[in-house]
Structure 1
Amino acid sequence: MNRPQYILQPVNPYFITFSLAAAFLLNLMPWGRTLFIPDFVAVVLLFWNVHQPRKVGMGIAFLLGLLMDVHNANLLGEHALAYTLLSYGAITIHHRVLWMSLGVQIFAVMPLLVGAQLVPFVIRQMTGAAFPGWSYLANGFVEAALWPIASFLLLMPQRRAADPDDTRPI
């Protein structure tokens, strides 16, 4: 059987702002030096770049990257560059990704998320920072595994019917 197709309501700009702010706050949590902690801002930013490229673009990605750089006390611009490249890649492939099933979308967004982890990694190595180990790049794979969960949670408010009716099939 075919899976049901939902007619989505227009996204509320306040919900986009709330989801990006919530992802930023999750990145601010003191997780310690635990491995495999995903970059929540990258996942949510990628989601909105794929689903709403006209509302969330590279400018917002750059500003969020600067905020992450200030918070992490990194070189100013390393996350900004990573998020901007992530946003550019997502906007470039957003038409193709939306036609794929959710399981295949994981493999479509995985190179973008691993690349977003690779940019700060390379910049830190070029500036002489300590080598964090190759497991640092595994966070991109963890973020890709979170893609179905993020898609489900961030599309939930758009799936609601404006005026629910038991006799209407959609």
Structure 2
Amino acid sequence: MAGNRPHYILLPVSPLFITFSLVCAFMLNLLPLGRWVGAPDFVAVVLVFWSIHQPRRVGIGVAFMMGLLMDVHDASLLGENALAYTLLSYFAIMIHRRVLWFPMMTQAMHVFPLLLMAQAVQAFVHFTASGRFPGLLHFAESVVAVALWPVITWLLLAPQRRAVDRDHTRPI
């Protein structure tokens, strides 16, 4: 670890903030960014984040429900995103203790295969249902999502951070 990097003691996360972040990720997925090559699946990234950081609060059930919402929004085969998000959450929960020990960029490299696997599951289900392969550019969104991992981690952990230098005029 870096000697001069601050070590934050995190406050407990609010369930309302988890819900707010999942709703915001869903709203970002509702934007017409899907037509652009490499537009990340924000719900998948936020699900992986919370499955790694709060596996008891955000688990497979939440991932399944978010997947069903995305299936309805995308007008895709019902269960395509639900299956991918469920597997994504399951494998993120499996490795959550290991991932938290690493620095940010190594965490991103651990998340990358999970996001690729979720996209491969979506592509496989889409291929078996329609007979069309979405193409290799379909997997570019995992690369973009991993590039955004440090920013998303910083944003989602920001409300939980305490000050490094405790000020006696602040309660926390």
TM-score, normalization: structure 1? Answer: 0.93
Whole-Å Cα distance in 1 between the matches of residues 140 and 75 of structure 2? 22
Please state whether the residue corresponding to 2:100 is helix, strand or coil: helix
Kindly indicate whether the alpha-carbon contact (under 8 Å) linking 2:71 and 2:78 is maintained by their aligned counterparts in 1: yes
Residue in structure 2 matched with residue 48 of structure 1 by the alignment:
50
* 1:25 aligned partner, one-letter code: M
Please state whether the residue corresponding to 2:143 is helix, strand or coil: helix
CA displacement, residues 20-78 of structure 1 (integer Å, 9 cap, x when unaligned): 00000000011252101000000011000000000100000000000000000000001
Whole-Å Cα distance in 2 between the matches of residues 101 and 41 of structure 1? 23
Listed as ranges, the gaps of 5+ residues in structure 2 are: none
Deviates more, 1:88-97 or 1:130-139: 130-139
Residue in structure 2 matched with residue 99 of structure 1 by the alignment:
101
CA displacement, residues 95-149 of structure 1 (integer Å, 9 cap, x when unaligned): 0000000011111110001111111101111112433211001111111111111
Residue in structure 2 matched with residue 24 of structure 1 by the alignment:
26
Residues 1:126 and 2:128 are matched in the alignment: yes
Alpha-carbon spacing, 1:23–1:119, altered in 2? closer, same or farther (3 Å)? same
Kindly indicate whether the alpha-carbon contact (under 8 Å) linking 1:116 and 1:140 is maintained by their aligned counterparts in 2: no
Residue in structure 2 matched with residue 63 of structure 1 by the alignment:
65
Kindly indicate whether the alpha-carbon contact (under 8 Å) linking 2:9 and 2:162 is maintained by their aligned counterparts in 1: no
* 2:10 aligned partner, one-letter code: L
**Number of corresponding residues:** 167
Residue in structure 2 matched with residue 139 of structure 1 by the alignment:
141
Please state whether the residue corresponding to 1:127 is helix, strand or coil: helix
Identity of matched residues, %: 59
Deviates more, 1:88-97 or 1:134-143: 134-143
Correspondence 1:3-42 to 2 at 5 A = 3-31=5-33, 33-42=35-44
TM-score, normalization: structure 2? Answer: 0.92
2:154 to 144, 149, 152: 152
* 2:82 aligned partner, one-letter code: A
Residue in structure 1 matched with residue 77 of structure 2 by the alignment:
75
RMSD: 1.7
